[in-house]
Amino acid sequence: MNNNVLITVLSFIGLILLQVIICSNINFLGDLNPYVYVIFILLYPVTNNRLVFIFLSFLLGLSIDIFLDSGGIHAAACVAIAYIRPLFLKFSFGAAYDYQAIKFSNTDFIQRLIYFLMLIIIHHFILFSLVLFDENKIALIIEQALYSSIFTLIICLLLSSLFSKKEA
């Protein structure tokens, strides 16, 4: 149990640093950045205590906002996907979720891909709607959200397979 808390705290801090020091300065093709910190929300252990989880997600987003001077956009997007996460867990992993027995490292790759993709797209869509904050730029919002999503997805998949402990 203590081990889990330690891992959570370390990954929380590590992901914030990774995001603000490296990932927000990539600016691939002009303005594309991956938002890899969402992997914290994606891979947070499935628990009954959703209040703590939502609050942690909020803190994560807010920390990123403070570093990047972006108001509250990351916090809003994080809270939103943290709240709707169970829906997508159920959709992607089906029966396993009902028994609260998901170990992300043991899941099927395709299932994980679908789960990541959906939550990342929603996160990025909320994020860029708030960044641009203009209903006339809906095409630009979708375009930027989509491209960044692909970027984030690739890096999240790489990270998750890099740090997953295969339990034989």
Q: How far is the CB of 1 from another protein (least distance, A)?
A: 23
Please give the residues from 92 up to 151 whose contact with another protein meets the rule CB under 8 A: 130-133
Nearer to another protein, 59 or 114 (CB): 59
Q: How far apart are CA 137 and CA 13, in angstroms?
A: 34
| Tokens at 149, concatenated | 């999503």
Complex with another protein: residue 51 or 162, whichever CB lies closer: 51
Angle, CA 9 vertex, CA 6 and CA 10 arms, to 5°: 85
Nearer Cβ to another protein, position 74 or 112? 74
Report the C-alpha gap between 25 and 40 in whole angstroms. Answer: 20
Which phi and psi angles does 30 have, rounded to 5°?
Answer: 100, -65
Smaller CB separation from another protein, 83 or 163:
83
Q: How far is the CB of 168 from another protein (least distance, A)?
A: 36
32 bridge partner residues = 28
First-to-last C-alpha distance (Å) of the chain: 21
Enumerate residues 52-81 that contact another protein by CB under 8 A: 54-55, 58, 61-62, 65-73, 75-76, 79-80
Residue 164 DSSP code: -
Interacting span for another protein (CB under 8 A) from 20-28, 95-103, 116-124, 152-160: 20-28
Compute the distance between CA of residue 117 and CA of residue 128 in angstroms, rounded to an integer: 16
Q: Would you tell me which residues interact with another protein (CB under 8 A)?
A: 17, 20-21, 24, 27, 30-31, 33, 50-51, 54-55, 58, 61-62, 65-73, 75-76, 79-80, 82-83, 130-133
